[in-house]
Amino acid sequence: AHYYLEPSRTFSEFLLIPNLTTKECTPSNVKLTTPITKFKRGTQPDIALNIPFSSAVMQSVSDHNLATALAQCGGISFIFGSQSVEDQAAMVRKVKEHKAGFVVSRSNLTPQHTLKDVLDLKEQNNHSTVAITDDGTPRGRLLGIVTSRDYRISRDSLDKQVQEFMTPFSSLIYGTSGITLPEANDLIWQHKLNCLPIVDDQQKLQYLVFRKDYDSHKENPLSLLDSNKSYIVGAGINTKDYGERVPALVEAGVDILVIDSSDGYSEWQKETVEYVKANFDVKIGAGNVVDREGFLYLVEAGADFVKVGIGGGSICITREQKGIGRGQASALIEVNEARNQYFEETGIYVPICSDGGIVHDYHITLALAMGADFVMMGRYFARFDESPTKKLKIGNNFVKEFWGEGSNRARNWQRYDAGGKQTLVFEEGVDSYVPYAGSLRENLDKTIYKIKSTMCNCGSNSIAELQQNARITLVSATSLVEGGAHDVIMKESSLSGE
Ligand code: MZP
């Protein structure tokens, strides 16, 4: 046997040491854009995300609703594969039906905000459209949509009109371009829209003003007009039925696939990647691995990205059941070294995804600093309104259901199959609850702000800079105690008598 004499470590055993923060290093200057598919030195990746977040390939996490909400925020979901090929393809199709836009919560806007503020937001986030809804989610009541691409009227006059509608939130505006009045009339008639078209001299539609009581739940005007850019979406596949699953997913418009497996260092994965590469023009990630050998094996097989992590998931009992796995930080550190060396030698950069075991927001920053290009999370996303599971009240608290793919409930035998029986012989995951946390966007905004602030502490304006500059220290068990509130009587608990 070979012995790894260093203990394998988790994120909580590390902290970041601040670097010099320059005046340019502010959260608003930090860019979280990140590659998720391999690329040659000096070129751009085919697929990049605006934020380094992906949601787990799990029944209790990634359906079409969560995928749409996360794509709207600049991340990506991998729709779960433990369902029929038809159902999974239908979910992919539903996400692809949405056109790219950007949702701003009404609560983020005050009467002092100008159109310029909204457009700046739009530009910062690289979106073609800004939709304003009352709760900041695409399912919320639509208050307004603004596009700026080809506006021909002056910013000033538009500004004034938008101010008018924004201040009392009394009407809606839908900006678009290149549509003639007859076309707009057709649309309005066809879709029973309740709005007033404003046209320019050439009878080209400039924007539509909607009535306050317009029922946005019936129809999202975004899906009727403007941009051809659709949301990005991924899907999980397995190493058994890829011959039927992959063609259907590709047909449905999937952007990227990932082989979902608890242990990816296998000939099954190599065969699957090779099949996809030989037959389709679609990106594919593979995993999960926890060491250099596993990483290089999947890269040689042709993987576009590699997923790292075994046994660290919040619902995972693989380490208890089978005694395999590795602390997530140690796994990432080793795979990152292998990736960087591979890049040096070949000029090909292969993104890595840190999957599972993120408990605190700062773990995400640590994962990025340790070389992850993006993270995959299950528990984090399961807590939100948009996840597919039931919200329940237990005692005084709201919770959402969350179960592992290796639990009896998911019955995802393909994820754990070692080439034998087509049943789940023993469980590697649990069925659980997570505290309900509200809407995806609100939580994500907070997490992103925290990451950006920490990156500023570390003197980094981008993920690449963070990976380059980060100084990371191991912490002792006693310094962990020092890191939380200590030696004080907490007011809340003393009042509640706990
Ligand atoms: P977490 O973000 O909840 O800590 O971890 C999510 C990850 O756990 C998933 O992306 C997947 O890799 C892994 N997972 C999913 N189901 C199981 C299981 O039942 C599991 N054991 O380990």
User: What is the CA(404)–ligand 1 centre distance, in A?
Assistant: 6
Which residues fall within 8 angstroms of residue 414, CB to CB, at 6 or more apart?
A: 81, 82, 238, 239, 240, 241
Does the structure show a pLDDT above 80 at 109? no
- Taken in order of first residue, the domains within the chain and their CATH numbers are 11-94+234-479 (3.20.20.70), 102-223 (no CATH)
Residue 131: which pLDDT band, with cuts at 50, 70 and 90? low
Report the distance separating Cα 259 and Cα 261, nearest Å. 6
pLDDT of residue 365: 98
Ligand 1: nearest atom to the Cα of 356: 5
Where is average pLDDT lowest: 75-79, 220-224, 295-299? 220-224
With beta carbons less than 8 A apart as the criterion, state whether 58 and 380 touch. Answer: no
Angle, in degrees to the nearest 10, between helices 361-369 and 440-457: 50
Residue 155: which pLDDT band, with cuts at 50, 70 and 90? very low
User: What is the CA(191)–ligand 1 centre distance, in A?
Assistant: 43
Does the structure show a pLDDT above 60 at 280? yes
ipTM for the whole predicted complex goes beyond 0.90: yes
* Percent of the chain surpassing pLDDT 70: 71
pLDDT of residue 345: 98
Q: Which of 316, 353, 456, 458 is catalytic?
A: 316
Residue 159: which pLDDT band, with cuts at 50, 70 and 90? very low
Express each pLDDT in 72-95 by its tens digit. 788 999 999 999 999 999 999 999
Indicate the SS3 state at residue 357: coil
Ligand 1: nearest atom to the Cα of 58: 15
415 is catalytic: yes
Where is average pLDDT lowest: 87-91, 156-160, 270-274? 156-160
316 is catalytic: yes
Closest CA to 355 of 55, 67, 71, 83: 55
pLDDT, average across residues 360-366: 98
- Whether 313 has a binding-site annotation, put simply, is yes
With beta carbons less than 8 A apart as the criterion, state whether 289 and 306 touch. Answer: yes
Q: Which of 53, 58, 381, 411 to mutate to test the pocket of ligand 1 (most atoms within 8 A of CB)?
A: 58
User: What is the CA(312)–ligand 1 centre distance, in A?
Assistant: 7
pLDDT of residue 266: 96
**Three-point CA angle 12, 61, 227, nearest 5°:** 110
Ligand 1 pocket by Cβ (under 6 Å)? 56, 58, 313-316, 318, 355-358, 376-380, 404-407, 428-429
pTM of the predicted protein model: 0.78
User: What is the CA(134)–ligand 1 centre distance, in A?
Assistant: 33
Residue 427: which pLDDT band, with cuts at 50, 70 and 90? confident
**DSSP string of 382-451?**
HTBTTSSSPEEEETTEEEEEEE-TTSTTT--HHHH--SS-SS--S-SB-EEEEE--B-HHHHHHHHHHHH
With beta carbons less than 8 A apart as the criterion, state whether 405 and 431 touch. Answer: no
pLDDT of residue 74: 85
Torsions phi, psi of 285, nearest 5?
-100, 160
Ligand 1: nearest atom to the Cα of 357: 4
